[in-house]
Amino acid sequence: MIVVNCPHCGPRNSSDLRPCGEVTTRPDPATASLSEWRTYLYLRENPAGWVTETWYCRSGCRRYFTIERNTATNETRSSEAS
């Protein structure tokens, strides 16, 4: 079981939430070239280790937040980015 700590609802089984993937920097849609925009859409770091990611608290507070998770061990900790 992967335990995710929602800042509003507390620790929950990950199956109560929806993972939304690693946090990436969104280029300005008004100035980004098509290829910059597609890089943002599709390319991922996908590391085996600590990653900052977004989660959606689907069956709790229904808010989005970020946490850090180690993708090799599934340990989680709160994120600086949130």
Partner 1 sequence: MARHGYKYSAGKLIRHGLTRGDWPRMWRRPEARSSYDVVIIGGGLHGLATAYYLAHNHGMTNIAVVDKGYLGGGGSGRNTAIVRSNYLTPEGVAFYDRSLDLYNSMAQDLNLNVMFSRRGHLTLAHTDSALRTMHWRAEVNKLQGIDSSVIDPQEVKKQAPSLDVSADTRYPILGALFHPPGGIVRHDAVVWGYARAADHLGVHMLQETEVLDILCEGGEGPDGKGAGGRVTGVRTSRGDISAPAVVNCTAGWASLISNMAGVPLPITTHPLQAAVTEPCKVFLPTVVVSGSLHVYVSQTDRGELVFGASVDPVGTYRVNGTLEFTEELAGHVLELMPGISKMRLLRQWSGLCDMTPDYSPVMGTTQVDGYFVDVGWGTYGFKAGPVAGETMAETIATGRDADLIAPFTISRFTEGDLVGEKGAAAVGH
Q: Which residues bind Zn ion (CB under 5 A)?
A: 6, 8-9, 57, 60-61
Would you say 14 and 5 are in contact if contact means Cβ atoms under 8 Å apart?
Answer: no
**In the structure encoding, which two tokens stand for residue 54, read together?**
């977004």
Q: For residues 8 and 77, which CB has a smaller minimum distance to Zn ion in the complex?
A: 8
For position 15 contacting partner 1 by CB under 8 A, the verdict is yes
Q: Pick from partner 1, Zn ion, none: which does 21 bind, CB < 5 to 8 A by kind?
A: partner 1
Residue 17 CB, nearest distance to Zn ion (Å)? 8
Give yes or no for a contact between 68 and 54, defined as CB atoms under 8 angstroms apart: no
Which one of partner 1, Zn ion, none is in contact with 60 (Cβ closer than 5 to 8 A by kind)? Zn ion
Classify residue 72 as left (phi > 0), alpha (psi -120 to 50) or beta.
alpha
Site for partner 1 in 43-82 (CB under 8 A): 43-48, 71-74
What is the Cα 10 distance to its own chain's centre? 17
